[in-house]
Amino acid sequence: MTSAAPLTGIFPVAPTPFHADGDLDLAGNARVMDCMVDQGVDGICVLANYSEQFALTDAERDAVMTSSLERVAGRVPVIVTCSHYATAIAAERGRRAAAGGASMLMLMPPYHGTGLRADENLMVEHFARVADAAKLPIMVQDAPLSGVPLSVSFLVRLAREVPLVRYFKIEVPQAAAKLRALIAAGGDAIEGPWDGEEAITLMADLDAGARGTMTSALLPDLIKPIVTAHLGGDRKTAAALYAKCLPLINYENRQCGLRAAKAVMMAGGVIGSDAVRHPFEPLHPATRAGLLEIAEELQPLALRWGK
């Protein structure tokens, strides 16, 4: 299921809201979906690492996926993350996502901890079985969290041997260099070279040929014009807009991590609590104040949506 018009633009990761007591907040999740659609996003990714997917039970994962897909209701494409070490479980997650209306899957390579991983032949088989189960395009998440090095030559092999593997979110050090090499080596097999990591390397990655970005849900309404301008050939405007956003992007990436979008969405009335599950810690009050000070200057929609 490759498309004549590849998905491009901004597809932020949706945070998973919890009540203050740590219970899953599905009503809040519906509001997050509505806010993100109103942010003008080109699509939404759910159950990613920035969604705290690793802190959810299997039943909660299903609930979040179903709630998200039903609430979005086709207004924008939804990417569902289905990563798991066990191929059968990842494949079943992919099948269920496809049945629920997902447009794409995102997968990390199979890994567990720092030492349990598959060799390249088994990784190809892993992705192939998930693709066969879901019949949806797949985005490979190439991120340090897995501890699995994915060489350019392997990613090109994967794209050529598993045709549904067409998208690649590159968020490793020197991401722009890897994107440039991947595009050069893979040609048409690399349908969707994408940027990640909260857009901290966005301009360099767009210069290298990235066609999409997966940020957090903190400020996609402010990042989208950067991507639109750059893809439209107006790099000067893109660079000027990026310079304005960079203090908030940097503060999120270096000080807050996945807690930033939640903190701003709570301040903006999107969700009732910015709780994270232990062993994550809540933001220090001084860090939260610093984040909101910068956000107030830029006024992203997430800070205004529920007021």
The residues carrying an active-site annotation are 169
Please report, for the chain, how many H helices and E strands are present, in that order: 11, 10
Q: What angle do CA 57, 32, 271 make, to 5 degrees?
A: 85
Instruction: Indicate the DSSP class of residue 42.
Output: S
Q: To which H or E segment does residue 46 belong?
A: strand 44-46
Q: Which of 22, 37, 69, 42 is nearest to 302 (CA)?
A: 37
Tokens of 99: 């049945």
Q: Are 143 and 196 a contacting pair, CB within 8 Å? A: yes
Q: Cis bond leading into 279, ω under 30°?
A: yes
Question: Quick one: CA dihedral 47, 77, 154, 128, positive or negative?
Answer: positive
Q: CA 24 from chain center: how many Å?
A: 20
